[in-house]
Structure 1
Amino acid sequence: MSSTTNRDPFELRDLAAEAGKRLEDASATDILEWAVGEFGERFCVTSSMADAAVVHLASKVAPGIDVVFLDTGLHFPETLQVRDFVASTMDVNVRSIRPDQSVLGQDAEFGPRLFERAPDECCALRKVLPLNEALADYDGWATGLRRDEGPTRANTRVVDFDVSRRKVKVSPIAKWTEADQLAYIERYDIPVNPLLGDGFRSVGCWPCTRRTEPGEDPRAGRWAAFDKTECGLHA
């Protein structure tokens, strides 16, 4: 049963360490079943809406589960269309979380096109801080990270402790390959962002995302003008 107060972070840290070892070879469904059984309503899924594979997995384990989507105000229309389709067709509760400031408000305070001058700061304002606030009422959260997505994700654990947020972080498909995920998507007719079929390997905010060339790292199209491949959500 879930409680109404945050659990002790040291307890969560030890829980994540033990579960991470024990569930390393478990299936994605078994990992999610463990998390839902451990945290109940204090567990959610986060999704960028590149596709909805993890959302679909979670909906089968815990119908009505909360799905946190960070609405930065800078998404491609295709991304918002996937979010709306997921909300209307899957048994989940999509929570669209917006930053405190609109894009225009951010421009007024920090100057226009902050993403071109200081992308880390822009990501912090429009993604990291909103996620931190959104996760305040949860003890654990699920991501769609895979180890084969690139060097920065190669050591992703199926269950880990997020030190900065003091939450248990669950990555049920960490061991999947891209082919595994595509097979799941095809089997269950999972919605996919159409940009992934139009030269994009990873989809984020439109100002900071470009198409990738054959053979490039899947995340090479993110912040291509900077030494940056992560927004900070998974630091």
Structure 2
Amino acid sequence: MSQMIPTQPSREELREIGQRLEGQTPQDALAFALDQFFPSIVLACSFGPEDVVLWDMMYRINPKASFFYLNTDFLFKETLDVRDRMVAKYHLAPEQVIEMKPDLTPEQQAEKFGDLLWIRQPDQCCQLRKVDPLTRVLKNYSAWVTGIRRDQAPTRANAKLVEWDAKFDLVKFNPLAAWTHHEVWAYIRANEVPYNTLHDQQYPSIGCTHCTGPVKPGEDPRSGRWQSSEKTECGLHK
């Protein structure tokens, strides 16, 4: 029987756990996370390549695991298609696929804050449609799993395999932190994992329809996000 760690381990315990997990596989990190925290652990799924890989790994370890997604009301049809293909492939029960929506509809948001908020105040738009719903769902868990990789952006270069998320007050696992873009896609192809077909159309990073564009070969993969502003993150991982 494995030794259980506290629901809210100390920062020193998390550092020790992270050191033990460095050099091990993402599956090892996920197995540890699920063993220690299930059912009070959930995957944050944007249906990007990292997230679908993590789901495939989690499902193989524990078929009763669950994920949530933030339906901002501005998702691409292709993004929702990935959700439907995942439900079909893994025979998921409704309680395993948690949809989180903003408190305001797009129409209510426009009435209260004005039209085109994602252009005028993109941080506020992300707060309303992403961060607030994320905060609500994470209150139900002791740990969450994310698809952060260190080489995705300078803001993520120091991501640890496991860390304390002070913003949301729970443990955060980043099992793919040390993986490369190539390793993620090699796993997708080897295991026939459903993925967003927009990735085949020069969309390496996909968010809301209003704030996502294609990227030219050789450009930063995240340069297609918030092209009309200096914004680089939606606020979920700051």
1:161 paired residue among 151, 159, 164: 164
Offset, 1:96: 1.0
Report the Cα offset of residue 58 of structure 1.
Answer: 0.7
Mapping for residues 13-162 of structure 1, pairs under 5 Å: 13-51=11-49, 52-90=52-90, 92=92, 93-162=96-165
Aligned with 2:151: secondary structure? helix
How many residues are treated as equivalent by the alignment? 229
Q: Please, which of 175, 193, 216 is the counterpart of residue 190 of structure 1? A: 193
In the other structure, the counterpart of 1:181 is 184
In structure 1, the gaps of 5 or more residues are: none
TM-aligned CA deviation for residue 88 of structure 1: 2.4
Moved more, 81-90 or 182-191: 81-90
Query: Matched residues in 2 for 1:195 and 1:58: separation?
Result: 24
Cα distance in 2 for residues equivalent to 1:117 and 1:226: 9
- CA drift at 1:233: 0.4
The normalised TM-score by structure 2 is: 0.92
Distance 2:156 2:91 in 1: 29
Contact 1:12 1:167 in 2 (8 A): no
CA–CA distance in 2 between the matches of 1:61 and 1:104? 41
- CA drift of 1:112 comes to 1.2
For structure 2, the 5+ residue unaligned runs are none
CA distance in 2, matches of 1:84, 1:12: 39
Q: Identity, % of aligned pairs?
A: 38
Q: Secondary structure at the match of 2:99?
A: strand
Deviation at 1:193, TM superposition (A): 0.4
User: TM-score, length-normalised on structure 1?
Assistant: 0.93
Partner residue in 2 for 1:233: 236
Cα displacement (A) at 1:83: 1.1
**Structure 2 CA distance, aligned partners of 1:54 and 1:91?**
17
Amino acid at match of 1:84: D
Q: Deviations over 1:177-214 (max 9, x none)?
A: 11101110011101110111101110000100111112
CA distance in 2, matches of 1:131, 1:16: 23
Distance 1:12 1:99, change over 3 A: farther
Aligned residue in 2 for 1:203: 206
Contact (CA 8 Å) 2:7, 2:37: kept in 1 or not? Answer: no
Map Cα deviations across residues 41-87 of structure 1 (whole Å, 9 max, x no partner): 00111110123111111111111211011100001110011012112
Deviation at 1:146, TM superposition (A): 1.1
Q: Which residue identity is paired with 1:111? A: G
Comparing 153-162 with 113-122, greater Cα deviation is found at 153-162
Q: Give the Cα–Cα distance (whole angstroms) in 2 for the partners of residues 22 and 166 of structure 1.
A: 23
